[in-house]
Amino acid sequence: MANPHKSRFFLFFFFICHFIFISTPFPTVLANAKHEFNDPHEVLLHKLEELVKNLSEVVSRLETKVLKEYSKIDDGVGIKDEISLIKYDGRMKNQGDEEKKKGVSVTKYSPFWSERFRFMSALKLGSAATCINILPFRDYEGFSKYVGVGDERGRVYVFLRNGDVVVEFYTECESPVVAMVSYMSVYKNESFVVTGHRNGAILMHKVYERLNGEELSSLVMETVGKFVEGNRLPITTLEVHHVGRMRYILCTDLSGKVQVFREEGTLYGSAMPRSRPLVFLKQRLLFLTETGAGSLDLRNMRIKESECEGLNHSLAQNYVFGATKRSKAYGFTSDGDLIHVLLLGDIMNFKCRVRSKKKLEINEPLAFQAIKGYLIIVNTEKVFVFNVSTPHYVRAGVPRLLFSASLDEIKSSFLTYQVMDTNKERVQVMPVIASDRESLIVLGLGGEYVGMYRSNLPVLKGESNTMLWTSPVLFFILFLFGAWQFFAKKKEAFTSWGTDDPFSSSSATNSAPLGSNTGERPFIDSSSRSSDMVDLRSNGLRGRRYASPSRPNSADPISRPAPVDPNYRAAPELNYRGSTLEPTGFSK
């Protein structure tokens, strides 16, 4: 749209120029020109110079008025920025207005998460989620069936994979649930859930399926015991250790104190390590601490600790063990490093070593979780997915960042922007995430929302073989195989040239076996026996000690050499009866 001020100034400029040109008296100019200039061309040139001079003065006055008008307009709206006029294509442009008209990106849609993680269901709680645990129930396909979520009011929600809430359980403690662990019972379709609360309370609940009719079943949850009362330090870690049919509940609080409870709720023992434990290795009583590693001996409740090589006196803040190899762990230090740690050995002799370090620019607090081949880190704003299974990075041990996605982008897949904009005040809560260590992920999306996803990321199964094929053990095995092949071929070559019979050929032809008389047929020639043995070896069979007897000559009237034992019977004539009692020398 044209500016009305510019239009008025243009008309004003046109009228002034026209008035100046007309107001000049033509005879006067000619009279003056006759006196000053005799040539008419000089008179015309003089007129043009005067006209240009007058036009320049008018233009300068108009520019001054334009600047004053724009300054008044800017002062009216409260803008005091300097205006710079730029000549471009014969037009005047305002640089400040051009900058104001530029588009600003509000948000960007990223398809990385939706392409790699399939959305299954979402759940909206009445309050913020503080803890997530996947219950050990399995369906007919072998997938996890129920998911438990604890909130800041001390309640536990249990819902299915499709998002249906089957249990909304009010625990006896109103403090937020900050830790949760579950394990199967000895009875079918029954499990136990242990919850740790911020006020230090530890409760045990029983979850079981109850049949309603023939096929329908409902889930029931009830509190069966209380391990620890409240008014203590917050619980940070809960773990279950199996010894035969006995189960022990291991818990740690904010001070680092380790307590072991029996399944019925009685205290088995407690110990205080020098450094606070962060995560336990399942079924091995090994754990990683802020400064290194440690082990717990249940027989005498003693803790053995050692520093982690390569940690360089920095404090670890988060840890999670890998899904494929439990001896590998990934953590985050106070110096902002993402570390890869190896924990090897048993409770008596163990070793912790930092395999790699990588600087990571990420805001805290953080939550770590691992699935097959990948590491997932969550903070209050984003989700980061790292690859830990690519063969190129197995030797170096450095997790590779695949992509990151904001929690708002993930929520936008099932929420509209109008619903998301209603919560203008973002509630800062602790990030929560859980997995079945296979492909199922349950993620807290900030506030009251919890989403369930299944990973579509490819999993490489050559992680453990990579170490073997690049180790000296392979070369030693290949050397043994080659030596065995060499000596086997050499022995076969020696035996094919000569006989392996311990008796010589002359003794074989001249002597007879035990129990035979001197009239029996002799053995065949050793040369023919050797050739037969070679033929048998070529067929994969080993030759006998002596060959079959040679056939009698057709010219020989007697097929068997004399004397012949009259008691001799051929194989078809044997009837397994005893020999006759009559002597052979008398005839009937």
Query: How many angstroms separate the CA atoms of 554 and 200, rounded?
Result: 107
Show Cβ contacts of residue 135 under 8 Å, excluding neighbours closer than 6 positions.
144, 145, 146, 147, 148, 158, 182, 191, 193, 207
Give the global pTM. 0.61
What is residue 44's three-state secondary structure?
Answer: helix
Residue with the bigger pLDDT between 105 and 477: it is 477
Report the top-level CATH class of 132-272.
mainly beta
What is residue 141's three-state secondary structure?
Answer: coil
Residue with the bigger pLDDT between 493 and 554: it is 493
Band (534; pLDDT cuts 50, 70, 90): very low
Please give the pLDDT value at position 540: 46
Work out the average pLDDT over 444-461. 87
Contact 288, 343 (CB under 8 A): yes
Predicted confidence (pLDDT) at residue 424 exceeds the cutoff of 70: no
Band (453; pLDDT cuts 50, 70, 90): very high
What's the angle, vertex CA 344, arms to CA 340 and CA 347, rounded to 5?
Answer: 130
Please state whether the peptide bond connecting residue 234 to the residue before it is cis, i.e. omega within 30 degrees of 0.
Answer: no
pLDDT tens readout for residues 172-230: 888 999 999 999 998 888 999 999 999 999 999 999 988 776 666 788 999 998 998 87
Percentage of the chain with pLDDT > 90?
37
Containing 119, the helix (H) or strand (E) segment is strand 117-124
Please give the pLDDT value at position 473: 74
Query: How many angstroms separate the CA atoms of 475 and 453, rounded?
Result: 44
Query: How many angstroms separate the CA atoms of 425 and 431, rounded?
Result: 17
What is residue 353's three-state secondary structure?
Answer: strand
Least confident of 45-49, 255-259, 303-307: 45-49
Domain ranges of the chain: 4-94, 132-272
End-to-end CA distance of the chain: 150
Residue with the bigger pLDDT between 462 and 156: it is 156
Work out the average pLDDT over 455-464. 72
Please give the pLDDT value at position 42: 78
The CB-based long-range contact list for 342-345 (8 Å cut-off, 24+ gap) reads 343/281, 343/286, 343/288, 343/293, 345/286
Q: What are phi and psi of 557, to 5 degrees?
A: -70, -25
Query: How many angstroms separate the CA atoms of 180 and 207, rounded?
Result: 14
Percentage of the chain with pLDDT > 70?
63
Average pLDDT, the chain: 75
Band (16; pLDDT cuts 50, 70, 90): low
Least confident of 87-91, 238-242, 510-514: 87-91
Band (458; pLDDT cuts 50, 70, 90): confident
DSSP 282-311: TTTTEEEESSEEEEEETTTTEEEEEEPBT-
Residue with the bigger pLDDT between 404 and 38: it is 404
Structure tokens at 388: 């830990």
Predicted confidence (pLDDT) at residue 138 exceeds the cutoff of 60: yes
Work out the average pLDDT over 158-168. 91
Please give the pLDDT value at position 15: 58
CA–chain centroid gap for 301, Å, is 34
Predicted confidence (pLDDT) at residue 92 exceeds the cutoff of 50: no
Please give the pLDDT value at position 574: 52
Residue with the bigger pLDDT between 562 and 331: it is 331
Show Cβ contacts of residue 292 under 8 Å, excluding neighbours closer than 6 positions.
275, 305, 306, 307, 308, 311, 352
pLDDT tens readout for residues 21-30: 544 444 444 4
Predicted confidence (pLDDT) at residue 440 exceeds the cutoff of 80: yes
